[in-house]
Amino acid sequence: MVNIEEIRKEFPILESRIYDKPLVYLDNAATTQKPKCVIDTISNVYTTMNSNVHRGVHHLSQVATTAMENSRETVRKFIGAKHSHEIIFTRGTTESINLVASSYGNTLLKEGDEIIISAMEHHSNIVPWQLLHARTGVKFRVIPLTGNCKLDIEAYKGMFNEKTRLVSVTHVSNVLGSTNPIKEIIDIAHSNDVPVLVDGAQSIPHKKIDVMELDADFFAFSGHKIYGPTGVGVLYGKELWLETMQPYNGGGEMIKSVRFDKTSFNDLPYKFEAGTPDYVGIIALGKAIEWVNSLGIENIAAHEHELTRYAVEQLKTIPEMRIFGEPDGAAVSFLTGDIHPADLGTILDRLGIAIRTGHHCAQPLIDHLGIPGTARASFAVYNTKKEIDALIQGIKRAVKMFTQC
């Protein structure tokens, strides 16, 4: 059990008033708010230990380096990875996927090879593969959806052939708020000797992740969606793949020695961390994960599931309400009658309620649904049923305004 009132006190921004109304923040799938301990960590690092990491023999550099490496270990334990050198710090999910598309793609793929993605991917798990296609001629195929917006697993099973080299799918849809059967997806791929990249952007804040139990080959996530700072994320990769793949960016830190005729690369994880990392963000991400651990991810998930169940139940009381897919996580996408989602979002904003509207960076899925976009409410551990009541009242008010027109 989590004490929501106590938790809310840790988030200064939740006390904001928007247009003189209390903020109701329901855009957590886009980014979560930050607890004071994370905000303080950023300030403390700059105040007490700021110094470039991994390079200095001096005290401050060593303190900052230790703090950064402690964060790597915190992440390792949090996702159940075997080695801390399998944790690569990136700028976020997008960069993590681009890293794999670039490094795995350049090293192990050739023209005519195939990658499998799905019809519900975020653009960050589509466009890197399109760019790879343009560079190398590697193709991607798309797992279709069933009538109720689930991945068509039977069709997926039939998509493997001798050219299939990688599966890259999202764990939880950022539009539908539904969870894909990721273990089954991985097992099917592995039975075809194909590795799997899991886009964990929307699962990491809401689920216990154990990459070894899942047997995921790669797992990507962003810090800012799990109460951490922006600009920092993680790529987990199995040692075997990371050792095989060529570096992503070139520069300082990722080398052992550089001569004009030859450069040798650093060991993992540094081989993939060229340049000065966002060590301040990385240290603060470690703090965010410690904070999540202090509450217990299972407790967080239980609260969010209850909020989602309640939101779906309440939304269904509104006439002409359409809910897309079968949300089982912490987000729900909907449309009300003919009201354009952008209009609904604007009216709710005036009531202090922040939701997300539009295509949610998943245009192919929105096109598949044949709609202009959706309104999406997404929840975090600090949200309450009272806030969902405010959302429902706000939608009812919008409906009234539009029916009076």
- Nearest to ligand PLP of 92, 277 (CB atom): 92
Of 159, 175, 178, the closest CA to residue 167 belongs to 159
Q: What is each CA distance from 187 to 140, 142, 215, 324, in whole angstroms?
A: 20, 18, 8, 28
Closest approach of ligand PLP to the CB of residue 87, in Å: 17
* Min dist. Cβ of residue 252 to ligand PLP (A): 24
Cα angle, residue 101 at apex, residues 99 and 105 outer, rounded to 5°? 120
Quick one: CA torsion of 226, 227, 228, 232, rounded to 10 degrees?
A: 40
In the complex with ligand PLP, the residue whose CB is nearer, 303 or 376, is 376
Q: What share of the chain is helix, strand, coil (3-state, %, to 5)?
A: 45, 20, 35
> For residues 233 and 394, which CB has a smaller minimum distance to ligand PLP in the complex?
233
Query: Which H or E run includes 79?
Result: helix 59-79
The residue annotated as part of the active site, out of 37, 149, 361, 405, is: 361
Cα–Cα distance, 316 to 318 (Å, whole number): 5
Phi and psi (nearest 5°) for 358?
Answer: 120, -145
**What does the binding site for ligand PLP look like in residue numbers (CB under 6 A)?**
92-94, 122, 124, 170, 174, 199, 201-202, 222
Instruction: Report whether the peptide linkage leading into residue 269 is cis, meaning its omega lies within 30 degrees of zero.
Output: yes
CB of 95 to ligand PLP, least distance (A): 7
Q: How far is the CB of 201 from ligand PLP (least distance, A)?
A: 3
Please, what is the minimum distance in Å from the beta carbon of residue 203 to ligand PLP? 9
Please confirm, yes or no, whether 405 is among the known catalytic residues: no
Whether the Cβ atoms of residue 273 and residue 267 lie closer than 8 Å to each other: no
Instruction: Tell me the closest approach of the beta carbon of residue 193 to ligand PLP, in angstroms.
Output: 26
Nearer to ligand PLP, 65 or 118 (CB): 118
- What amino acid is encoded at 163 in this protein? K
Between 74 and 124, CB nearer to ligand PLP? 124
C-alpha distances in Å from residue 33, one per residue of 28, 126, 207, 288, 307: 8, 27, 18, 11, 17
User: Which residues neighbour 210 within 8 Å (Cβ) at sequence distance 6 or greater?
Assistant: 79, 80
User: Between residues 27 and 69, which has the closer beta carbon with respect to ligand PLP?
Assistant: 27
Catalytic residue IDs: 361
